[in-house]
Amino acid sequence: MEPKKRGRPSQDKVIRPYTIDRKVAEYIDSLPDGDRSRFVNNMLVQGIAEEKLSAKVSSKEITEVIDSLHSAMVRWPGSWSEDHRFAWIYGIIVGWENEEEICKKFHWDEETRNRFRQYRQVIEKLEPVDESH
């Protein structure tokens, strides 16, 4: 008896449960496993993003989500400045009083700093939710 093949199903051609253009499918099947996974993941993420963008979300709903994140973050007793990922998230949602110090601490280059500031400005443009109604 031949030993059972180990590994992911992507090592062989996979019958896909979704509809896809034949040429795209052939291209995907021709890729090595790692590239194939990245390509398929990118396609799925793009499809999900397009589907999400087509859904109507009000600015009030977005603001409520951001306000909820903001409240949770400022109440958390831990330090948001110990890890560059936490510092990035906190800085965008809440904002840093010592932004320049944080940027230096994590060696964020000018491009990263500009992107960080751009994202923070987007959050600052959102109107606070009026909870009195």
What are the pLDDT digits (tens) for 94-104?
999 999 999 99
What residue has token string 């992107």?
A: 115
pLDDT, residue 96, reads 94
Kindly report, residue by residue over 119-132, the tens digit of the pLDDT.
999 988 887 666 55
Q: Model confidence over 73-116: pLDDT tens digits?
A: 999 999 999 999 999 999 999 999 999 999 999 999 999 999 99
Domain boundaries, the chain: 9-54, 59-125
Cα separation values, 124 from 7, 13, 48, 66, 91, Å: 48, 49, 27, 10, 11
- Residue 16 is predicted with a pLDDT of 46
Q: What is the pLDDT of residue 17?
A: 45
Predicted model pTM: 0.55
Q: What token pair was written down for 122?
A: 């987007």
Residue 102, judged by CB atoms within 10 A of its CB (0-12, 13-18, 19+), counts as buried
Q: Which two tokens mark 65? A: 């989500």
* Residue 23 DSSP SS3: helix
